[in-house]
């Protein structure tokens, strides 16, 4: 049985203010919770008996738990279609060393606003072996429940950092790749194995402060080049194309 106070806590974590206050985030569903349990220690899990029967062995350390009914699951869940389990995890505290980008590729996000895009970008980073995503302070919170669900577990392997992005990039002695409409065809440019790939806001693209710091402007051409097509690509799709091209060059 789950208490009313616990349900209230779970519901409150939809708000960034409360997530910051409690230092907790919500994850739901067998796949996502299962992925996170591999590398993160939960503070609380509520699940129906079927989940406990199949996944209890995933718990490597003790935490508070409840066995709940399907009705209770629906009352506590933040999802339209709850799936077996709700877990609360402490928000990780990572410290980003800017010298990391001297040895590997990192993603930087400048004002990305949509939680779905944010979560999908993390999945893309995970797929292409990018371990650090550095975000401007106005980028959507990765621990937003919708963003967490969209990561599909990538949050267990990719570290997300929030900082004054312009200030950080201005101090970095690494390549800074930015996708811009006045950039050069990505398929014709030399691409390195380290530095930052910067992706911008869904509607406005990169802010002027970040544009000024880009050392190599890239553009994803449409096909055939110069024909009338849709105005722009979704930021998550663009991120996927850019990361794929960087990794393809390293094969």
Model confidence band, residue 176 (pLDDT cutoffs 50, 70, 90): very high
- Taking each continuous run of H as one helix and of E as one strand, the counts in the chain are 10, 10
Element (H, E) at 227: none
- Report d(CA 167, CA 242) in Å as an integer: 24
What single string gives the DSSP state of each residue in 74-109?
HHH-SSSS--SEEEEEEPP-----GGGGGTSEEEEE
Q: What is the pLDDT of residue 58?
A: 81
Q: What is the pLDDT of residue 225?
A: 75
According to CATH, where is 3.30.1330.30 located in the chain? 4-90
CATH class label, 98-249: alpha beta
Task: Indicate left, alpha or beta for 129 from its phi (over 0: left) and psi (-120 to 50: alpha).
Answer: left
- Report d(CA 158, CA 152) in Å as an integer: 12
Radius of gyration of the chain (CA): 20
Average pLDDT score, the chain:
94
CATH class label, 4-90: alpha beta
- Indicate whether 56 pLDDT > 90: no
- Indicate whether 63 pLDDT > 80: yes
**Which of 76 and 230 is assigned the larger pLDDT?**
76
According to CATH, where is 3.40.1280.10 located in the chain? 98-249
DSSP state of 201: B
- Report d(CA 153, CA 156) in Å as an integer: 6
**Pair 134, 106: CB distance under 8 Å:** yes
Model confidence band, residue 131 (pLDDT cutoffs 50, 70, 90): very high
Phi, psi of 211 (to 5 degrees): -55, -40
Q: What mean pLDDT comes out for the span 135-140? A: 97
Give which of 225, 80, 204 is closest to 145, Cα–Cα: 80
Q: What mean pLDDT comes out for the span 108-118? A: 97
What single string gives the DSSP state of each residue in 149-178?
HHHTTGGGT-EEEEE-HHHHHHT--S-EEE
Model pTM score: 0.92
Q: Quote the tokens at residue 135.
A: 């975000």
Model confidence band, residue 67 (pLDDT cutoffs 50, 70, 90): very high
Percent of the chain topping pLDDT 70 = 100
The string of pLDDT tens digits covering residues 87-105 is 999 999 999 988 999 999 9
Q: What mean pLDDT comes out for the span 157-173? A: 95
Element (H, E) at 25: strand 24-28
């Amino acid at each position: 049985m789950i208490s009313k106070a616990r349900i209230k806590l779970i519901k409150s974590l939809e708000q960034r203010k409360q997530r910051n206050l409690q230092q907790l985030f919500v994850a739901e569903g067998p796949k996502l919770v299962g992925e996170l349990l591999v590398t993160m220690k939960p503070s609380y899990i509520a699940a129906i008996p079927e989940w406990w029967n199949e996944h209890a062995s995933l718990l490597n350390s003790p935490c508070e738990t409840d066995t709940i009914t399907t009705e209770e699951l629906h009352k506590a869940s933040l999802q339209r279609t709850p799936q077996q389990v709700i877990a609360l995890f402490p928000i990780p505290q990572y410290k980003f060393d800017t010298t990391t980008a001297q040895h590997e590729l990192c993603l930087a996000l400048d004002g990305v606003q949509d939680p779905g895009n944010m979560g999908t970008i993390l999945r893309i980073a995970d797929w292409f072996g990018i371990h650090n995503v550095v975000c401007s302070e106005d980028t959507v919170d990765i621990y937003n429940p919708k963003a967490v669900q969209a990561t599909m577990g990538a949050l267990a392997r990719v570290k997300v950092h929030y900082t004054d992005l312009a200030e950080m990039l201005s101090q970095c002695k690494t390549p800074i790749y930015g996708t811009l409409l006045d950039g050069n065809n990505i398929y014709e440019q030399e691409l390195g194995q380290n530095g930052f790939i910067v992706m911008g806001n869904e509607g406005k693209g990169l802010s002027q402060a970040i544009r000024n710091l880009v050392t190599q402007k890239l553009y994803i051409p449409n096909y055939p080049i110069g024909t009338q097509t849709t105005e722009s690509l979704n930021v998550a799709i663009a991120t996927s194309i850019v990361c794929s091209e960087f990794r393809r060059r390293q094969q």
